[in-house]
Amino acid sequence: MRRLIALLLFVLLLGAGAGGAWWYALREWQAPGPLAAPAQVVVPRGGTAAIADALAERGIIDQPMAFLAATWLTRGEGPIRAAEFQFPARASLRQVLEVLREGRPVQRRLTIPEGLTARQIATLLEQAEGLVGEIPPVAEGEILPETYAYQWGDSRAAVVRRAKQAMDRALAEIWAERAENLPLETAREALILASIVERETGRGEERAQVAGVFVNRLRRGMMLQSDPTTAYAVADGGVLDRPLTRADLERDHPFNTYRIRGLPPAPIASPGRDSLRAVARPAAHDYLYFVADGTGGHDFSRTLEEHNRAVARWRQIERSRAPAPTR
């Protein structure tokens, strides 16, 4: 109450008539403000005057001088902060100061989908509104796909650090609960295989099945023959924007699993938790092959003969989908 009285006296000293001072001060302190709808506003650093100008520019307040006076006279309530805040519609001067002193900054969110390459993740970080600073080097498969909360002005390096730590924790926890007798020596090898599974299928119910095929192949010393690894090689670590050719499949490259045995030397993308779990506990079956079935899923086969028939069906579906020739 003493601060409100001081505000009234201050307004009076600014030149308001004695008869209207109380009315004017109460209106400025308690009356609804000009903001028509709730709004998120970045409150800048640079002092109270800069904050007053920013709030006036965004229509949060209409009298910067009244805001400055109220801020000074109520300074014992605590400092006002520079951050991004949510202001309610028609916020009074009193409510505006409460938000600036006690409100929780807006929590923004950056979602990193499963299966992105390091380059794609870097692009997301670069485009994330409100993040600042350079992006530190990110190795393939090093970041866990998840939704990360951040505030305006947080650094990209801080988000990357959290995402790396999240992957380290997830991989360690899932690897510790792996099935026995996997043909994988380390958690790193599980990460590599999980990245392949992630790129092979977008269907959650298929991941363990696909992982089981690759585990069966590794046990038998067969080549993995995974198209996504070859596409990764052809695109030089990027995303291939065309179908693979026979020449691509015959290309000598450490990531071309049509030419090398075993796993490629590194992940080809960032796998999510489900793909990591699928590799750590693959489905137990005797399938050695799979091919797209035309519905977004895959046909699984035990023998090469079965697989060739499934491939023929897929090619027939592809031909039926091809556009009719123009004349």
What pLDDT does residue 26 have? 58
Asked, for residue 256, whether it belongs to a domain, the answer is yes
What pLDDT does residue 125 have? 98
For the chain, how many helices (H) and strands (E)? Answer: 13, 6
Q: How far apart are CA 194 and CA 228, in angstroms?
A: 12
Domain count, the chain: 3
What pLDDT does residue 317 have? 73
What pLDDT does residue 325 have? 46
Sign of the four-CA dihedral 293, 298, 302, 307 = positive
Tokens of 84: 């991004």
Domain that holds residue 46: 26-59+82-106
Asked, for residue 176, whether it belongs to a domain, the answer is no
What pLDDT does residue 312 have? 87
Please check whether residues 159 and 99 belong to one and the same domain: no
Angle among Cα 66, 69, 70 to the nearest 5 degrees reads: 85
Please check whether residues 116 and 244 belong to one and the same domain: no
Please check whether residues 218 and 262 belong to one and the same domain: yes
Residues in the chain: 327
Please check whether residues 208 and 251 belong to one and the same domain: yes
**Sites in the chain below the pLDDT cut of 70:** 1-28, 321-327
Asked, for residue 101, whether it belongs to a domain, the answer is yes
pTM > 0.95: yes or no: no
Please check whether residues 317 and 218 belong to one and the same domain: yes
Asked, for residue 297, whether it belongs to a domain, the answer is yes
Asked, for residue 179, whether it belongs to a domain, the answer is no
Asked, for residue 247, whether it belongs to a domain, the answer is yes
For tokens 């009356």, the residue is 31
Domain boundary among 166, 195, 210: 166
Please check whether residues 99 and 122 belong to one and the same domain: no
Asked, for residue 13, whether it belongs to a domain, the answer is no
What pLDDT does residue 327 have? 39
Phi, psi at residue 39, to the nearest 5°?
Answer: -145, 145
